[in-house]
Amino acid sequence: MIMDKITGSKDLTVLALKIKEAGTIAISGHVNPDGDCVGACLGLYTYLRENYPEKTVDVYLEPINPKYTFLKYAPDIIHQEAAEAAGIPEFSYDLYFCMDCSEPERLGFARDYFENASFKVCIDHHITNKGFGDLMFIRPGESSTSEVLFSLMDYKKISMDCAEALYLGIVHDTGVFRHSNTTRKTMETAGALLDKGIRQEMIIDDTFFRKTYVQNQILGRALLESILVMDGYVIFSVISRKDMVFYGVDSSDLDGIVDQLRVTAGVECALLLYELEEQVYKVSMRSNSVIDVSKIALYFGGGGHKKAAGCTMSGKARDVINSITALIESQKLDLDREG
């Protein structure tokens, strides 16, 4: 088991050797893939396809947001239905890349492929990732898995198509370079990708800011029905299955709602709950400054970053909110004592 030390060349040498030796390579990311997960997976897939055409490379993901299908190799993604029809291959992949995933359980339907692989590489930036696989590049200090991946690639071999995938990932995990995870290195990486001739404005406008009519409607509904608690320290909104059916939206249409809640004046934490099935909620959490929402998400079996995390919880919406706000209150009290 080899853990990346960021500056060491040994791990890069091992990675290059494993890619050279592998005849079959697979790539997958976490369930409900976001922009960074899609960008990192397709960025790596593009890089390997274009620079190692003699190898068999497969990428497994759940269905991605239609906004991301502009990426050249998006049609090559193997979804669960196709994977199940083919069955788990009798052979194991020589090399498997787990991207933007803090634990194997979050690989979803692709986990069996990962477990059966001969050599496993984990590339991630989640602070909740405790490490798994044979070779690990886990860098919580970097903005995104796409940024981590960029540093592992030979820049001369990165095509425009590969660069667009990586740029997508960085843009989405930094909130278009607005979040505190944006560093000088992040901006330098983005600049290097711009030099590849990518369609910067299209990527930002079409995948981050542009919304459909129904997406604006559900955003408006969520904002209209949002509630402040803890004397305005926390804001939350709940979207039921009934609401989603009424507006004709799915989970991909809810992108950006929790971030809009977060910028409410005076708020430290924002919570968005949307109902997956009766009394089962996906919870997205954001913090502005001092509260570590990754600890709260981890407590409930989820994960993420200090200022952006998520989990799935069961129960009535008010009970879910009460459970989360109790932990926020506990952190706040600890911080007040320390201050």
Q: What is the pLDDT of residue 128?
A: 87
Q: For residues 119 and 97, what is the distance between their CA atoms, to the nearest angstrom?
A: 9
| List of residues 6+ apart from 3 with CB closer than 8 A | 11, 131, 136, 138
59: Cα within 13 Å, side-chain hemisphere: 26
Q: What is the pLDDT of residue 9?
A: 59
> Residue 246: phi, psi to the nearest 5?
-60, -45
Where would I find the beta strands (DSSP E) of 87-233? 95-99, 120-124, 135-138, 227-229
pTM reported for the whole predicted model: 0.89
Q: What is the pLDDT of residue 3?
A: 53
What are the C-alpha distances in Å from 260 to residues 195, 223, 233, 269, 271? 31, 8, 15, 11, 11
Q: What is the pLDDT of residue 10?
A: 74
Q: For residues 19 and 22, what is the distance between their CA atoms, to the nearest angstrom?
A: 5
Q: What is the pLDDT of residue 87?
A: 79
Domains in the chain, start-ordered, CATH in brackets?
A: 2-208 (3.90.1640.10), 213-338 (3.10.310.30)
Ordered per-residue pLDDT tens for the chain, 339 residues: 545 544 455 788 899 999 999 999 999 999 989 999 999 999 999 999 999 999 999 999 999 999 999 999 999 999 999 888 887 777 799 999 999 999 999 999 999 999 999 999 999 999 889 999 999 999 999 999 999 999 999 999 999 999 999 999 999 999 999 988 999 999 999 999 999 999 999 999 999 999 999 999 999 999 999 999 999 999 999 999 999 999 999 998 998 999 999 999 999 999 999 999 999 999 999 999 999 999 999 999 998 889 999 999 999 999 999 999 999 999 999 998 887
Q: What is the pLDDT of residue 85?
A: 85
What are the C-alpha distances in Å from 265 to residues 179, 289, 298? 16, 13, 27
Q: At 139, which amino acid appears?
A: R
